[in-house]
Amino acid sequence: MSHFEGAMAQNSDRVITVSYAMQQDLIKHGWAPSKVSLVWNGVDPKRYDMAKCKQEDVVAIRKKYGVPMDWNMLLFVGRLSWVKGVRNLLLAMPSVLKEYPNTMLVILGKGEEQRDIVETADRLNIKSNIVYRFDFVPEPERILHYAASDVCIFPSTYEPFGIVCLEAMAMEKPVVVGARGVVGFREQVLSSGPDQNGVHVNGEDPVDIAWGIKETLRNPEKARNWGENGRRRVLEYFTWRKVTDETLKIYESLL
């Protein structure tokens, strides 16, 4: 596979990648900088829209997992692989629960970490605050999970882009994201300033992940503002129309 990728890089006129993080990684591995262009991925904000979610459906999701409406619902969505940081997220939870005991973490996804996730939660004595759904969740239902959540957490240590973050942002949710290494999340999420929409953490460090979650839970009004900022950011930079326009410009430049 690596030989095939190298041959394609050598013979192509242009390579399009999805983040500055991945662009720099390709260049570091010997790909010609002049060939590597960037187009961020996108999401459909008409589909991912809180205004289109019925309140009774949102309540039903929380009821399904036993999350009272006055509790904090944390949400992780993704492939259950070590690079997604889900094990470190679990290791962060005792610290979070010490300050915010009325908190439930819902984990959606499938992958090789499933058994380890169950064993880790049991070992840490936090299984009553963790819900696992080791399954592929259809998009309409996944949208309702975002709607039902208070904070979305994606502490990846390797993530060329990561569309789940955009989905959460479009749904006006504050996000806590891994931002160290080859991780495109840090380009999606502003971690400071008036347009802040989430928090950057080191996905390899459970202490830092716990800090990011607690920082978001500490001020619900501020977190709601971050969520609103996130949707505005999606509408400006991360729609599929934007992706199409930027991709066409690259093709046209080669004609």
pLDDT tens digits for 60-80? 999 999 999 999 999 999 999
% of the chain at pLDDT higher than 70: 97
Per DSSP bridges, beta strands 151-154 and 72-77 are parallel
Encode 150-176: b = buried (16+ Cβ within 10 Å), e = exposed: bbbbbbbbbbbbbbbbbbbbbbbbbbb
Asked if pLDDT for residue 9 goes beyond 70, the answer is no
Asked if pLDDT for residue 108 goes beyond 70, the answer is yes
Burial group, residue 75, by CB count within 10 angstroms (0-12, 13-18, 19+) = buried
Domain residue spans of the chain: 2-41+239-254, 50-237
Which of 213, 198, 196, 4 has the alpha carbon at shortest distance from 88? 213
Which of 227, 91, 123 has the alpha carbon at shortest distance from 167? 227
Superfamily of domain 50-237: Glycogen Phosphorylase B; (3.40.50.2000)
Token couple for 171: 């749904």
Cβ neighbours of residue 10 closer than 8 Å, sequence gap 6 or more:
none
pLDDT confidence band for 29 (50 / 70 / 90): confident
User: What is the residue-averaged pLDDT of the chain?
Assistant: 95
- Mean pLDDT across 156-176: 97
Which of 234, 86, 218, 65 has the alpha carbon at shortest distance from 153? 86
Token couple for 167: 């989905």
Q: Which of 7-11, 102-106, 204-208, 232-236 has the lowest mean pLDDT?
A: 7-11
pLDDT of the residue at 91: 98
pLDDT confidence band for 2 (50 / 70 / 90): low
- Mean pLDDT across 119-131: 97
Per DSSP bridges, beta strands 151-154 and 175-178 are parallel
Asked if 73 and 62 touch (Cβ cutoff 8 Å), the reply is yes
The predicted model scores a pTM of: 0.94
16 to each of 9, 20, 22, 26, 91, how far by Cα in Å?
10, 11, 10, 11, 36
Residue 130: phi and psi, rounded to 5, are: -125, 135
Per DSSP bridges, beta strands 175-178 and 198-201 are parallel
DSSP class per residue in the chain: -HHHHHHHHHH-S-EEES-HHHHHHHHHTT--GGGEEE----B-TTTS-GGGS-HHHHHHHHHHHT--TTSEEEEEES--SGGGTHHHHHHHHHHHHHH--SEEEEEE--STTHHHHHHHHHHTT-GGGEEEE-SPPPHHHHHHHHHH-SEEEE--SSBS--HHHHHHHHTT--EEEE-SSSBTHHHH---SSTT--EEEE-TT-HHHHHHHHHHHHS-HHHHHHHHHHHHHHHHHH-BHHHHHHHHHHHHHHH-
pLDDT tens digits for 210-236? 999 999 999 999 999 999 999 999 999
